[in-house]
Chains A and B, each alone.
Chain A
Amino acid sequence: MNTVVAQLQRQFQDYLVSLYQQGFLDNQFTELRKLQDEGTPDFVAEVVSLFFDDCSKLINTMSRSLERPENVDFKQVDSGVHQLKGSSSSVGARRVKNVCISFKECCDVQNREGCLRCLQQVDYEYKMLKTKLQDLFNLEQRILQAGGMIPQVNIS
């Protein structure tokens, strides 16, 4: 039993570190994890799922705005990118945030092609992150089910 927990814990640790290493996450995610305590055991998952919902909504809106080449509402796209940037930065979704930065640059110069490219990228990145975090939370669940503690992972 203990070995299973230890194994899971180790797996969890490695997985989380790999997410940082691959640049999916940054310190802000650590911040987020710090905020989670007994009172709010699902805080991170809640925030993150809210974030993903947000992503999907915003991406839909933006793709509609970018749909027609001759009539792009860059202002609306910009506001979407701004939202997305703020959210991703808040949850520590580093890759998404980085794409948002270039997305914003494209938007500023009203480069529709660039915007579309970034939109695709953002879509890809957030879905990727979603899968990864899903796995992470699953691991967490398994540890907890196995009666273990979520290990503290020191990233820095």
Chain B
Amino acid sequence: MVCEMETDQTEEMDIEVLSSMWPEDVGGTQADNNQFNVEKPAGDSDTLKEVDIAEKRTMADLKRLPELMNTTDQGSSQLTNLVKQWEYMQDHAVKLLREELKILTKQREEAEAKELKIIEEHNFETQEPENVPVLDDTSHLLRRFKHTKRDALVGSKRVEIDEEFDTVAYWKQKALSLEKMLEASTERERRLIEKLNESLKTMESHSAPVEELTQNLKRAEGFLHFILQNAPIVMGHQDKDLRYLFIYNKFPTLREQDILGKTDVEIFHGGGVKESEDFKREVLEKGKASKREITFETDLFGSKTFLIYVEPVYNKAREKIGINYMGMEVTDQVRKREKMAKLREDNAVRKAMESELNKTIHITEETMRAKQMLATMSHEIRSPLSGVVGMAEILSTTRLDKEQRQLLNVMISSGDLVLQLINDILDLSKVESGVMRLEATKFRPREVVKHVLQTAAASLKKDLTLEGNITDEVPIEVVGDVLRIRQILTNLISNAIKFTHEGKVGIKLKVISQPSFASEEQNGLTETETSVWIRCDVYDTGIGIPENALPCLFKKYMQASADHARKYGGTGLGLAICKQLVELMGGQLTVTSQVNAGSTFTFILPYKVATSDDHSDDQDFSDMVDHHQAEPDDTTEGYFQFKPLLGTIYSNGGPVIGNSNFLPHKVMLTSPLKIINGFVADTSNNTGQSETAQVENGCGYMDETCSGQRPESVNQYENGTCPSKETESCSSSSQASSEGGALEMESDLTVSSKQPKLLLVEDNKINIMVAKSMMKQLGYTFDIANNGVEAITAIKDTSYDLVLMDVCMPVLDGLKATRLIRSYEESGNWDAAIEAGVDIKTSENDVHSTNRLPIIAMTANTLAESSEECYANGMDSFISKPVTLQKLKECLRQYLH
């Protein structure tokens, strides 16, 4: 770099000016500091540092430095540079002098030529011999003067002579003027010689390179100090073992002897020290200069971040002998940068959260809209359609001729189909939009299977055998969503029947161990609850499903093939719904099939096992309840053994005792067509037939035994029709069939010795009026409370056998009231109620009964959450509003015996 600077100034003779790029004045201020490494304290440094200066701080090993300069590449190259620079300057000076010399030589030659000419001229003009020797003697000088003179005067003035040519005076004059010219010339020559000598002298004075170099070095050092005076920079050199040999630190906190010869690790302690040491070592090993930012956390100078540049140092033999390092404190910058990054990050996070929130809001809105849609759909489509179907059904009860009846039947079945389709779609969208809630009710799996088969048999128009098979281990009662399970079973069974033309269709239930796909969390059962996994197979001997159609079997609107769709009809939604429902309940639905041999749909579901002392909540099986109450005890072993499905049909109205305990659990129901065909009004052989069923003989025999059923049971089949209206049809059928039973009940109740005490909690006076009238018909009287508080007051004073509790009431609703009553039963005091703000005056004659008071909810909401809430709040059962005589009767019968 120095050399480059020099080349720009070749025209200048003054070496002093050319020689250095370092500012002179800076050099001057540092003149007394002859060493590189001597510190000049900053003017504003604190007192401590000034004290340091007083001790003459030098932060480098003076002996080592020159050595270092001599041995390292960097050092030698600097020296080489200086030497080169000096050499160049000398060369330059020599060159200039040579040029000067050349000019002078040229001038002399010209002057000689001139002189010669003059002499020739003179000889020609004067031809005076006496002058010649003089001229000859001085010819050499004369020639030079002449020449110089002419040169100096620019275009040589001729000597003006006034005298007449070739007279004595003339020659004299000429001689005189020539002599003057000669003198001037001599003078010039002398000066030139002087100047030459001077030049030579200055050259000599600059010939010593050491002094020159020292000067340059001084300037370099001065410049460095000038630049680095206040820079937060630390520089250093460390040897191969990373021991400091040299350090430059503007604001030193350690003294020389504390640093030199030591490694970083020996000097500092704290965060970052090891890292920097490792980094230096890495650079040393790799031999490649590199930069890194390191944050130090030391006792010595606190938390500071340095940008560190480290380069390896080689000796002349290209061996590594250490490293140079330079660190600049960038703590503030790093902090700012980090703050910025954090701000940016926060910003990004906030933005992400915002968009997430927006998304959630959007989804929620969508869900709300979907729910709204569902509600609207169900009302807007279902209501008029039920109207159409209902009216058609009413129409069918009127007098019609044969053709009209046929047309009407088509109308009804089509209407039912559309209703079914809409129900399917609604179910599916309910499951998908997450609106579908599951209800947990106690139910008897055997009864469900029986009922499903009964229903299917009722509408069966094929020569098929329907069978149910339930193993012993299946509990009598389990808890699950019986409606959904029945929906699945009905769907699968009707599917099976649809695709089966001969042979049999059946349901098999057995208990299995927990399947691998279910974890404890998944099925939502805790350790304390006993749960059971039941596998249900719905099998048939039908046309089967080709293997390639299996994957899309559970997809919406899909059927095995277009041919099938045409031939068998259907929406293609049934299986999709089944699968979704099963999965919603935490189970799995699978299928195996063989073409022309049949299919088996299997679903595995978890159930909670119902505790046997509770009453059944399942109101769909009024006939069943009848039957079981005739039994000595549900929990006796004999009952657990076999669940007679067929037997219950027989028992309906017939002699009950003795036919149930030892019936086979494998039961076959045959087509009602056959039953009707082989109808025999013989009720006396019930028990005998049951025993034959136990033999499990062939179908023919079974047909015969079944054909002996009473007409009522056949009616019942026919009433329990399509699955979509299952609950309605069930209740209507039981209603219809229990007309006679009601009378019987009434008489039973009226003769019972002790009139049960009932409490009706209801705020709506019309409801009270209706309920009162119903109770009267049933032969009961009751007390009335208009809200929860009144109910609690009443219960406090009187011992009731049963409470019918409205859920939604002013002042204190039914759920809260029930909770408070339950709390009283447990604790024996009304503290909880008092705490809840119910004004209770306890008195001596309070009846305190620790028996659990049956509380039946009356709820207008038939939504799932409502009934769950009833149970959760300690209610025993619920009647959905509007209350009917039948429902009330069922309920009272269940809880008052």
Contact with A along B242-272 (1 / 0, CB 8 A): 0000000000000000000000000000000
Is the pair B770, A35 in contact by a Cβ cutoff of 8 Å? yes
Which of chain B's residues has its CB closest to A40's CB?
B773
Which of chain A's residues has its CB closest to B881's CB?
A89
Assess whether A79 is interfacial by the CB under 8 Å rule: yes
Assess whether B181 is interfacial by the CB under 8 Å rule: no
With A21-B391, A101-B379 already in contact, the answer to whether A87 and B884 are too (CB < 8 A) is no
Q: Give the CA-CA distance A101 to B882 in the complex, in Å.
A: 14
Is the pair A87, B383 in contact by a Cβ cutoff of 8 Å? no
Q: Give the CA-CA distance A153 to B767 in the complex, in Å.
A: 24
Neighbour of B764 across the interface among A87, A155, A156, CB < 8 A:
A87
Contact with A along B393-404 (1 / 0, CB 8 A): 110010000000
Whole-angstrom distance from the CB of A39 to the nearest CB of chain B? 8
Chain B residues lying within 8 Å of A21, measured Cβ to Cβ, are 391, 394
A interface, by DSSP: helix, strand, loop or mixed? helix
Is the pair A156, B860 in contact by a Cβ cutoff of 8 Å? no
Whole-angstrom distance from the CB of A22 to the nearest CB of chain B? 9
Neighbour of B773 across the interface among A20, A43, A86, CB < 8 A:
A43
Assess whether B769 is interfacial by the CB under 8 Å rule: yes
Is the pair B881, A90 in contact by a Cβ cutoff of 8 Å? yes
Q: Give the CA-CA distance A27 to B880 in the complex, in Å.
A: 14
Whole-angstrom distance from the CB of A40 to the nearest CB of chain B? 7
Chain B residues lying within 8 Å of A27, measured Cβ to Cβ, are 884
Which of chain B's residues has its CB closest to A44's CB?
B773
Chain A residues lying within 8 Å of B387, measured Cβ to Cβ, are 23
Is the pair B885, A28 in contact by a Cβ cutoff of 8 Å? no
Is the pair A90, B882 in contact by a Cβ cutoff of 8 Å? yes
Whole-angstrom distance from the CB of B722 to the nearest CB of chain A? 15
Assess whether A46 is interfacial by the CB under 8 Å rule: yes
Assess whether A82 is interfacial by the CB under 8 Å rule: yes
Chain B residues lying within 8 Å of A156, measured Cβ to Cβ, are 393-394, 397, 732
Interface residues on A, range: 35 or more
Q: Give the CA-CA distance A43 to B773 in the complex, in Å.
A: 8
Chain A residues lying within 8 Å of B860, measured Cβ to Cβ, are 82, 85-86, 89
Is the pair A20, B764 in contact by a Cβ cutoff of 8 Å? no
Which of chain B's residues has its CB closest to A39's CB?
B776
Assess whether A126 is interfacial by the CB under 8 Å rule: no
Which of chain A's residues has its CB closest to B368's CB?
A109
Chain A residues lying within 8 Å of B394, measured Cβ to Cβ, are 17, 20-21, 155-156
Contact with B along A48-92 (1 / 0, CB 8 A): 001100100000000000000000000000010011011101111
Whole-angstrom distance from the CB of B891 to the nearest CB of chain A? 15
Neighbour of B765 across the interface among A17, A54, A102, CB < 8 A:
A54
With A40-B773, A87-B767, A90-B764 already in contact, the answer to whether A35 and B882 are too (CB < 8 A) is no
Chain B residues lying within 8 Å of A152, measured Cβ to Cβ, are none
Query: Within residues 92 to 145 of chain A, which ones have a CB less than 8 A from any CB in chain B?
Result: 92, 98, 101-102, 105
Neighbour of B881 across the interface among A35, A86, A101, CB < 8 A:
A86
Is the pair B774, A91 in contact by a Cβ cutoff of 8 Å? no
Is the pair A82, B770 in contact by a Cβ cutoff of 8 Å? no
Chain B residues lying within 8 Å of A89, measured Cβ to Cβ, are 860, 881-882
Assess whether B766 is interfacial by the CB under 8 Å rule: yes
Assess whether A3 is interfacial by the CB under 8 Å rule: no
Contact with B along A1-41 (1 / 0, CB 8 A): 00000000000000001001101000110011011010010
Contact with A along B741-780 (1 / 0, CB 8 A): 0000000000000000000000111110110011001000
Give me 16 A-to-B residue pairs in the complex whose CB atoms sit less than 8 angstroms apart, sorted by A's number: A27-B884, A28-B882, A34-B885, A40-B773, A46-B769, A83-B764, A86-B860, A89-B882, A90-B764, A91-B766, A98-B383, A101-B379, A154-B397, A156-B393, A156-B397, A156-B732
Listed in ascending order, the chain B residues whose CB lies under 8 Å from chain A are: 375, 379, 383, 387, 391, 393-394, 397, 732, 763-767, 769-770, 773-774, 777, 806, 808, 810, 860, 881-885
- Top 6 A-B pairs, shortest CB-CB distance: A35-B773, A87-B766, A89-B882, A28-B882, A86-B764, A90-B767
